[in-house]
Structure 1
Amino acid sequence: MRLSIPEHKKFVHEVVVPIRWGDMDAMGHVNNTIYFRYMEIVRLDWLLSLGRGAAPQGQGPVIVNAFCNFHQELRHPGDVRVRMYVANPGRSSFETYYALSRVDDPDALYASGGAKTVWIDHGLRKSVPLPEELRRLVGEGDDTPAP
């Protein structure tokens, strides 16, 4: 499968993550759970770049569902390029989408996935409105990936 920009999504961030030997399972390829870790790495890096990281005593993001489609096996050694897209800001949530490719095979899609992120007040344990600047960021702009 070739890498393509998802429809109606806005590109927001990209991270390159090394494939560690310990990411592999007994079958000799990256374990399926690690793909979710790669998606988490780019999501947290993006939020931290916005000054909106995890805040266990305040407000912040939680994932309420996540999925991953495995298109090709990832194997050690190598580096994974994880591109993150956002869409559909709501009152307290937005959607994320991820495209995983290898740095040495940039046009091939190895996995794609997504998650719904909800903004919550950790103390109250309930959703709260998205910060306005985050809602604007998720809702505006184009979906062109960084060069």
Structure 2
Amino acid sequence: MNRWPDDDVILYDGVCIFCSRWVRFVATRDVERRFRFTQIQSGYGTRLAQAFGINPDDPDTNAVIHGGVAYFKSDAALTVLRTLPGWGWTRALFWVPKPLRDGVYSVVARNRYRIFGKYEQCFVPDADMRARVME
């Protein structure tokens, strides 16, 4: 089991437009302000990625630390979604076989820059969200 000392941290690719939109999606719906965010390109994000075997120069997954455990790919996304108000129904998606869920996740992840685009620099959060960013 993968452990990390900080909890409820979402690791994401800060130059990926899709990934940055995912973080904004979570931040606006996380009314308890439970989750914090770190770009894989930050010092903290790079250390976190390397601790879990994610290549910070070519990330193939986001990750979330929840309950002290690291989750990756579809498990990461569903773990976050199920905690958000009104999104509890997504826990039913855990019944979909993991190889199928992760297969779909991997196709999107591999093609994310081509489909959604890429920022020249890391996405800069607004002032409210900046307080939740770990660098």
Higher share of residues assigned strand: 1
Which has more helix, going by share of residues? 2
TM-score of the superposed pair, with normalisation by structure 2: 0.26
> TM-score if structure 1 supplies the norm length?
0.25
